[in-house]
Every structure is written in structure tokens, then in C-alpha cells.
């Protein structure tokens, strides 16, 4: 094993000499994700604040003047605008208005006769401003309906409180930490796989096909180190880079996502002070969820999975004649990993009975369950044992295959 | 001492259309012996099997048939033991450009089982001998090909090997650097090492080699002292022997 560790040391020493690669591999993600999410969050907050500060533009067709006074009385929230030329839908799409209302022309008479008032509303569900306008209108209309019913009850000699016989109080018991944990738990396996593979791939190619291309592999093979040790040393390097790269990216991304989601999760306050408090609560909740035990168990699963990927990269890299050939051989692997990741994120996938026995995917499932506090010890154990066995087999195959002259001296 | 007995080596290469594979016999029945304190020159055109033969001596390739002995050790059975006694210089220089020569030599010293201090000391001796001591702490990215070649030679000789195998050691070097390399080869011969050198440079062979062999299509011709070879063919120079052999070997 001493030879393999010497090779590992050599690879890291070589990496340490390349400050640019070090920066892009390990420092950049630490800066990039918080920056990206901070900008996204800030832009989102600014947009929401701007929407809340402006009145919603409403096109109102109300010949009987049933609803017009309601909207005109609240200029801070509604601005009645003339009907745009052409189709209303196009007007909404072109952002000339946020809401369009058409009231029954005989609405006033119907109300007087205590008959239902027909009202049609057009809004754009894909536009946040339009959804806000609808929400504002519903709230205003609700209050008005209550007033109408209370007035009708009063005229009949009833008690106004009968208009709202039930006082509903809702209590949100959702744990913000658990919510974020579930979200990160479903994203984590996907991110883990992508980052581990993509992070290790370029370094793996440099350390394998790159050595062939630069003519340095021969000088290594000419030393007294056994070939198997050289191969294992390179495998350890690719594996270590994959794990480190995934950890740095994930750490940075998890903190950034937790902050962002904490501010926007259901039930979170929207006021500035409330947002900060909610983010702090989320961070606390997430910290309680991502216990050292959960993180340790996740890392334990990452080790054999990372080794499996490292073997795959090593096999593709060292058998290639040059870096271009290695790149061509290994890049499709990213799409396979992407596909596996997307599959593991699919809603309801955890209910598939065969999933705990499908290699790689069972790792996703186990991590997902760990983070959502639904861990099943047996499923976890099966995933771990299967992945260890898979990584072990791959290592055995790699060392045997790459020990051959035809792999190292491919013509 | 090096002893090659009836070496054969075949490779599978892509055929001309790139669809299937065909077998190429790179080395066919090569036998030779290099005694301690002797420089053996291996000549031949490109693709004649010189590098393959040298790689088999260095324990990088295993012969399909035949036997390679390095100082009495069977290189096929005990490749690590054999490689420990061989200093191999490939045509590709094989230096890690991000390292300084000192770092590279320290690292290869560790690979060859040397203590860090011993590797450092031996490395500096070699760098001084090759005129590179002042560049020991400079990253090799800006080195000329001659400087890289010198570092590569130092790397090959770091573990004080009894057998030296140099594949085209003066290719692409200026006259002064080439002279340094030739002087080093002479010095190593004087120390009693067995040396095999492959080259295309005939004057170099005539000036330093004790015996030469000429490879054509994997078959060794000649195997004699340069002067004796010229006399046996009745010609004045090795160049002419080479041309005559090339004509004879042509199908």
C-alpha cells in the first residue's frame, strides 16, 4: 500500500502546484453558490416588495356599478384601468393589466332580490403580480360578501354574527427544518452523484490519459513500484477528488439553499424582520435534522459510491490513448448519472418496492430517507452492502484490467 | 549484465480501415548480450522494434516468447526486482512540468525506495554533473527540451542502476547538450554499467558504442563492433551498412 500512497501524494502535490485548478475546484463553489443564491434571493425580495407596493391594475366591466366602488375605495391596492384593445387574455399576457372582472349587467337588481351575482375573473396564473391581484380581490370581495350577508340578516331581524357562524383558527404545525431537510434530502443524492462524477472526471482524465499523453506514465511504470500500486494510487486520487469536490459543492449549496428556502418556505413571514427570524429557525431546524449521525451515515454511503465512480473514470481514462479520447468516453457518464439523479428525485419513487435492491438508486433512497427522518435501517444496510460489493468488484476488475499491457500501452 | 534470448513480441493494432485488428510482430527472435562496462548501440529505422526491445529490457513489456535477464534476474518473473536495477529513459521525456527538478527527483527517489536525504543528495550530484544545479528549484514549465532531457536522465539514474537503457537520448538536443549526454554515457561505462542505447545518429554510435546491432522489421542484424561490422560488409561507414541492410531487408 506504500506505493499507492506515494502515487496519491504525487498526484496531490501536482494538483497543489496548479493554483488555478485548485481555485476552480475547491474555492469557486464556496463563493459561487452563496453569491448566486444571495443575488437570486435579493432579486426575489425586491420583486415581491415592488409588487406589494404597487396597486393591481384591474379592468372592470361593471355597468351596474356593483363592485366599482369597492375597488375605487382602495386605491392603494387597486387601480381600475380601461379595457385594452383586443383580447383580454393578450392584455394579461402583455402585462397591461393584472386582473379583469366582468360583472353581470343586472348584478345590482339580482343583489337586491337576494339572487346570486354572476362574476367572471380573468387572471394569469403564471404571473406573480396577477396572482397577487386575484388574492387581493378575493380578500376584498370576501369582506364585502360578509357585509352584504350581515345587512340582509339585520333587515330580517337576525343577529349579524350569524353571517359567520364559525370562527376558524388555523395552526401551521409544519417544521421548517423538516421541510428544508426533505427538500435537501431529495436534492442531495442527485447533487452528490453529479458533483462527485463531474468533479472527479477532469482530474481523473488528467491523471490517467493525460499522463499517457504527456509521456510521464512510462517513467512511473519504469520504477520499482508494482503496477497494481500505481493503479490503486490513481484510483485513490480520483476517489478523493470526487468526494472532496462533492463535499465542498454540497456544503456551499446546502447552506445557500437553506437560507433561501428558509425565507420563502410556506408559513414564513414576509416582513424583513420575520424573514430573518424564519431563516434562523430554519437553520436551527435543519441543524437539528442534519445531525452528526445523519451526516456520518450519508458520508458512509458516499464512500463506496465515490469509489464506484472513481473506478469507472479510471477504467475509461487509463485505457484511452489521449485526453480527448478519454473525455469522449467518459462524458456520456454525466448523462447517465444525471438520469439516475433525476429518477431518484421523482415524486413517489420511494414507494417502489424494488428500489432498495437497485444499485446506486438505493443509495439515493437511503440518503433521502435519512434527511426526512424516515430512515429504514434494513434498507440502509442493503444499500451500503450492495454499494460496497459493487465498488469492491469494480476495483478488482479495474486493477486486473489495467494491469494488462494492452490497457497501458494501447496502440 | 543484460541477456536477451530469442525475444518475440506481437501487438494487436487497428487495421488500416480502423474496423478490425491485425497482429504486428514488432520483435522477432532477438538475442543479444551486453556485458558490464559495455555500450550497445541499437540501430534501425522507425518502427523496426527498437523501443519495444528496450521496453522489454526495462521490464515495461513482457515478451510473448523468449527471456530477458537483467543482472541474472528474469524480468518476466520478477519485474519489480528487475526494474529496480534498470535506469530507463524513454523517447517521451516523462517529466512533470509543474515540479522543480529537485521535487521530481525526491518523488522518484521515494518511488525507487530511496530515503529522502539520499535521494536529495544523489539528485543534486546528478544535476550538478549535468549542469543543471542552478535550476534545481525552478519549475520545469519554462525549461528547454535539452534541460528537460537532462532532468529526465537524472531521474533515470537516480537509483544508481547497474543497467542503463536510453531510448534516443540525443534526439532534438543541441551539440553541447548532446556532448554532455555522451560524456555521461562514457562515465557510466567506466563505472562498469551495462548500457543499451537506441539512436538514429550514426556518428554517435561510432564514437561511443562498443558493439552495435541493427534492427529491421523486428529482426536483429549485425551484432558486432562498429569497425568489425563495416569491415564484414566491406564498407567505410555504418551509414553504408545501414543502407545495404535496408536494401536486403526490403521484400
Say if CB A365 and CB A355 are below 8 A apart.
yes
| Closest alpha carbon within chain A to B23 | A411
Instruction: Please list the alpha-helical segments (H only) found in chain B.
Output: 50-57, 79-83, 101-111, 116-129, 145-157, 175-190, 202-208, 226-233, 238-249
Stated as kind and residue range, the H or E segment containing B222 is strand B219-224
Say if CB B50 and CB B198 are below 8 A apart.
yes
Determine the distance in angstroms separating the CA of B172 from the nearest CA of chain A, rounded to an integer: 16
State the pLDDT at residue A174.
63
Q: In what order do the strands lie in the sheet with B73-74?
A: B21-34, B2-14, B65-70, B73-74
Q: What confidence category does residue A284 fall into, taking pLDDT thresholds of 50, 70 and 90?
A: low
Which segment, A57-61, A300-304, B198-202, B235-239, is predicted with the most confidence on average? A57-61
Q: What percent of chain A has pLDDT over 70?
A: 87
- Is B145 within 8 Å of chain A by CB? no
| Predicted complex ipTM | 0.89
Query: Three-state DSSP class for B5?
Result: strand
The overall average pLDDT reported for chain B is 88
Q: What percent of chain A has pLDDT over 90?
A: 24
Residues B223-248 have a mean pLDDT of 85
Residue with cell 469494480: A394
Rounded to an integer, what distance in angstroms lies between the CA atom of residue A265 and that of residue A273?
15
Q: Are residues A224 and B93, on separate chains, in Cβ contact within 8 Å?
A: no
Query: Which residue of A219, A225, A237, A408 is the best one to mutate when testing the B interface, meaning the one whose CB has the most B CBs within 10 A?
Result: A219
Could you please report the per-residue DSSP string of A77-141?
TEEEEPPPSS-HHHHHHTTS-SEEEEE-TTHHHHHHTTPPPPEEEE--TT-HHHHHHHHHHHHHH
State the pLDDT at residue A273.
43
State the pLDDT at residue A168.
80
Residues of B with Cβ-Cβ distance to A403 under 8 angstroms: none
- Three-class SS of A150-209: HHHHHHCCCCHHHHCCCCCCCCCCCCHHHHHHHHHHHHHHHHHHHHHHHHHHHHHHHHCH
Rounded to an integer, what distance in angstroms lies between the CA atom of residue B14 and that of residue B17?
8
Question: How many Cβ atoms from other residues are within 10 Å of residue B112's Cβ?
Answer: 21
Please say if the pLDDT value at position B229 is more than 90: no
HSE value, Cβ hemisphere, 13 Å, CA-based, for A279: 17
- Is B113 within 8 Å of chain A by CB? yes
Please say if the pLDDT value at position A274 is more than 60: no
Residues A31-56 have a mean pLDDT of 84
* Residue B162 buriedness (CB in 10 A; 0-12 / 13-18 / 19+): middle
Q: Are residues B94 and A215, on separate chains, in Cβ contact within 8 Å?
A: yes
Residues A32-44 have a mean pLDDT of 80
Of A220, A223, A215, A195, the closest CA to residue A11 belongs to A220
State the pLDDT at residue B18.
66
Q: Are residues B80 and A225, on separate chains, in Cβ contact within 8 Å?
A: yes
Choice among A144-153, B100-109, B117-126 with the minimum mean pLDDT: A144-153
State the pLDDT at residue A6.
93
Please, which residues have CB within 8 angstroms of residue B167's CB and are 6 or more apart in sequence? B50, B51, B54, B88, B89, B90, B91, B198
For chain B, the structural domain boundaries read 2-85+162-249, 95-160
Please say if the pLDDT value at position A289 is more than 80: no
Q: What confidence category does residue A285 fall into, taking pLDDT thresholds of 50, 70 and 90?
A: low
Q: Within chain A, how many helices (H) and strands (E) appear?
A: 17, 4
Residues of B with Cβ-Cβ distance to A218 under 8 angstroms: 60, 88, 90, 92, 94
- Is B110 within 8 Å of chain A by CB? yes
| Closest alpha carbon within chain B to A411 | B13
Residue with cell 493525460: A210
Q: Are residues A13 and B13, on separate chains, in Cβ contact within 8 Å?
A: no
Of B243, B205, B198, the closest CA to residue B50 belongs to B198
State the pLDDT at residue A268.
45
Residues of A with Cβ-Cβ distance to B93 under 8 angstroms: 215
State the pLDDT at residue B153.
92
Determine the distance in angstroms separating the CA of A32 from the nearest CA of chain B, rounded to an integer: 27
Query: Three-state DSSP class for B146?
Result: helix
Q: What is the CATH number of domain B2-85+162-249?
A: 3.40.50.300
Q: Are residues B111 and A220, on separate chains, in Cβ contact within 8 Å?
A: yes
| Closest alpha carbon within chain B to A13 | B99
The torsion angle over the Cα atoms of residues A252, A253, A254 and A259, rounded to 10 degrees, is: 100
- Name beta bridge partners: B68: B4
State the pLDDT at residue B111.
93
- Is B149 within 8 Å of chain A by CB? no
Question: Would you give the DSSP letter of residue A55?
Answer: P
Q: Using CB atoms, which residue from A218, A225, A406 is nearest to B94?
A: A218
Q: Are residues A6 and B110, on separate chains, in Cβ contact within 8 Å?
A: yes
For the segment B13-28, what is each residue's pLDDT rounded down to a tens digit?
777 666 777 888 889 9
Residues of A with Cβ-Cβ distance to B152 under 8 angstroms: 219
Rounded to an integer, what distance in angstroms lies between the CA atom of residue A238 and that of residue A318?
12
Residues of B with Cβ-Cβ distance to A219 under 8 angstroms: 88, 90, 94-95, 108, 152, 155-156
Query: Which residue of A206, A224, A409 is the best one to mutate when testing the B interface, meaning the one whose CB has the most B CBs within 10 A?
Result: A224
Q: Are residues A14 and B99, on separate chains, in Cβ contact within 8 Å?
A: yes
Q: Are residues A405 and B80, on separate chains, in Cβ contact within 8 Å?
A: no
For the segment A190-225, what is each residue's pLDDT rounded down to a tens digit?
777 888 888 899 999 999 999 888 888 888 989 999
Residues B125-154 have a mean pLDDT of 91
Residues of A with Cβ-Cβ distance to B80 under 8 angstroms: 224-226
Question: How many Cβ atoms from other residues are within 10 Å of residue A61's Cβ?
Answer: 14
Of A214, A210, A321, A325, the closest CA to residue B91 belongs to A214
Rounded to an integer, what distance in angstroms lies between the CA atom of residue B134 and that of residue B136?
6
Please say if the pLDDT value at position B162 is more than 90: yes
Could you please report the per-residue DSSP string of B173-199?
--HHHHHHHHHHHHHHHHTT-EEEEE-
Please, which residues have CB within 8 angstroms of residue A85's CB and are 6 or more apart in sequence? none
State the pLDDT at residue B187.
92
Residues A127-145 have a mean pLDDT of 92
Say if CB A121 and CB A99 are below 8 A apart.
yes
Say if CB B56 and CB B49 are below 8 A apart.
no
State the pLDDT at residue A100.
93
- Is B116 within 8 Å of chain A by CB? no
List b or e across B203-224, with b for residues whose CB sees 16 or more CB atoms inside 10 angstroms. ebbbebbebbbbbbbbbbbbbe
Of B125, B113, B98, the closest CA to residue B184 belongs to B125
Question: Would you give the DSSP letter of residue B218?
Answer: T
Rounded to an integer, what distance in angstroms lies between the CA atom of residue A326 and that of residue A238?
14
CB pairs under 8 A between A and B: 77
CATH number for A54-163: choose from 3.40.190, 3.40.50, 3.20.20, 1.25.10: 3.40.190
Stated as kind and residue range, the H or E segment containing B26 is strand B21-34
State the pLDDT at residue B154.
93
Determine the distance in angstroms separating the CA of A1 from the nearest CA of chain B, rounded to an integer: 12
Rounded to an integer, what distance in angstroms lies between the CA atom of residue A32 and that of residue A25?
11
Stated as kind and residue range, the H or E segment containing B9 is strand B2-14
Residues A306-312 have a mean pLDDT of 92
- Is B76 within 8 Å of chain A by CB? no
For chain A, the structural domain boundaries read 2-44+175-408, 54-163
Q: What confidence category does residue A180 fall into, taking pLDDT thresholds of 50, 70 and 90?
A: low
Please say if the pLDDT value at position A283 is more than 70: no
Chain A residues whose C-beta sits inside 8 Å of any chain B C-beta: 3, 6, 10, 13-14, 17-18, 214-226, 405-406, 409, 411
Amino acid at each position: 500500500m506504500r506505493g499507492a500512497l506515494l502515487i496519491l501524494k504525487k498526484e496531490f502535490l501536482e494538483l497543489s502546484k496548479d493554483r488555478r485548478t485548485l481555485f476552480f475546484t475547491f474555492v469557486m463553489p464556496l463563493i459561487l453558490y452563496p453569491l448566486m443564491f444571495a443575488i437570486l434571493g435579493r432579486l426575489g425580495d425586491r420583486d415581491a416588495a415592488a409588487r406589494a407596493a404597487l396597486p393591481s391594475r384591474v379592468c372592470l366591466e361593471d355597468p351596474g356599478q356593483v363592485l366599482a366602488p369597492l375597488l375605487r375605495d382602495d386605491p392603494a391596492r387597486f387601480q381600475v384601468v380601461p379595457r385594452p384593445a383586443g383580447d383580454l387574455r393578450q392584455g394579461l399576457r402583455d402585462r397591461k393589466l393584472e386582473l379583469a372582472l366582468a360583472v353581470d349587467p343586472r348584478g345590482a337588481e339580482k343583489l337586491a332580490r337576494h339572487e346570486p351575482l354572476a362574476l367572471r375573473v380573468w387572471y394569469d396564473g403564471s404571473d406573480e403580480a396577477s396572482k397577487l391581484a386575484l388574492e387581493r380581490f378575493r380578500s376584498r370581495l370576501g369582506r364585502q360578501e360578509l357585509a352584504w350577508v350581515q345587512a340582509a340578516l339585520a333587515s330580517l331581524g337576525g343577529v349579524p354574527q350569524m353571517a359567520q357562524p364559525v370562527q376558524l383558527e388555523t395552526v401551521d404545525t409544519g417544521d421548517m427544518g423538516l421541510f428544508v431537510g426533505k427538500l435537501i434530502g431529495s436534492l442531495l443524492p442527485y447533487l452528490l452523484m453529479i458533483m462527485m462524477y463531474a468533479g472527479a472526471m477532469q482530474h481523473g482524465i488528467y491523471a490517467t490519459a493525460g499522463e499517457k499523453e504527456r509521456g510521464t506514465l512510462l517513467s512511473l511504470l519504469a520504477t520499482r513500484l508494482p503496477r497494481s500500486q500505481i493503479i490503486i494510487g490513481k484510483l485513490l486520487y480520483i476517489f478523493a477528488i470526487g468526494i472532496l469536490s462533492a463535499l465542498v459543492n454540497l456544503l456551499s449549496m446546502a447552506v445557500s439553499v437553506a437560507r433561501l428556502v428558509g425565507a420563502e418556505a410556506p408559513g414564513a413571514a414576509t416582513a424583513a424582520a420575520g424573514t430573518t427570524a424564519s431563516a434562523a429557525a430554519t437553520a436551527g431546524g435543519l441543524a437539528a435534522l442534519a445531525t452528526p449521525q445523519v451526516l456520518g451515515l450519508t458520508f458512509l454511503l458516499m464512500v463506496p459510491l465515490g469509489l464506484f465512480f472513481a473506478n469507472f473514470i479510471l477504467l475509461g481514462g487509463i485505457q484511452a490513448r489521449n485526453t480527448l479520447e478519454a473525455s469522449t468516453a467518459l462524458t456520456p457518464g454525466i448523462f447517465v448519472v444525471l438520469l439516475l439523479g433525476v429518477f431518484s428525485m421523482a415524486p413517489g419513487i420511494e414507494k417502489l418496492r424494488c428500489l432498495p435492491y437497485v444499485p446506486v438508486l438505493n443509495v439515493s433512497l437511503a440518503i433521502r430517507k435519512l434527511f426526512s427522518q424516515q430512515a429504514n435501517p434494513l434498507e440502509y444496510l442493503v444499500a451500503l452492502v450492495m454499494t460496497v460489493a459493487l465498488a469492491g468488484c469494480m476495483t478488482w476488475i479495474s486493477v486486473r484490467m489495467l494491469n494488462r499491457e494492452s490497457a497501458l500501452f494501447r496502440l | 549484465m543484460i541477456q536477451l534470448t530469442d525475444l518475440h513480441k506481437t501487438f494487436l493494432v487497428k487495421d488500416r480501415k480502423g474496423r478490425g485488428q491485425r497482429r504486428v510482430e514488432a520483435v522477432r527472435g532477438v538475442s543479444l548480450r551486453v556485458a558490464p562496462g559495455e555500450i550497445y548501440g541499437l540501430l534501425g529505422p522507425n518502427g523496426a522494434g527498437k523501443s519495444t526491445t528496450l521496453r522489454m529490457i526495462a521490464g515495461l513489456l513482457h515478451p510473448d516468447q523468449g527471456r530477458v535477464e537483467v543482472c541474472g534476474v528474469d524480468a518476466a518473473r520478477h519485474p519489480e526486482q528487475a526494474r529496480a536495477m534498470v535506469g530507463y529513459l524513454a523517447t517521451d521525456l516523462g517529466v512533470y512540468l509543474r515540479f522543480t527538478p529537485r521535487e521530481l527527483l525526491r518523488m522518484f527517489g521515494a518511488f525507487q525506495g530511496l530515503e529522502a536525504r539520499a535521494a536529495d543528495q544523489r539528485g543534486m550530484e546528478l544535476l550538478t554533473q549535468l549542469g543543471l544545479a542552478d535550476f534545481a528549484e525552478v519549475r520545469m514549465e519554462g525549461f528547454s527540451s535539452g534541460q528537460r532531457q537532462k532532468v529526465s536522465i537524472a531521474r533515470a539514474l537516480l537509483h544508481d542502476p547497474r543497467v542503463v537503457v536510453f531510448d534516443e537520448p540525443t534526439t532534438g538536443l543541441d551539440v553541447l547538450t548532446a556532448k554532455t549526454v555522451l560524456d555521461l554515457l562514457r562515465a557510466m561505462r567506466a563505472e562498469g554499467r551495462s548500457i543499451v542505447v537506441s539512436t538514429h545518429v550514426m556518428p554517435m554510435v561510432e564514437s561511443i558504442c562498443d558493439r552495435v546491432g541493427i534492427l529491421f522489421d523486428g529482426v536483429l542484424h549485425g551484432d558486432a563492433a562498429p569497425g568489425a561490422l563495416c569491415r564484414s560488409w566491406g564498407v567505410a561507414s555504418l551509414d553504408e551498412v545501414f543502407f545495404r541492410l535496408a536494401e536486403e531487408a526490403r521484400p
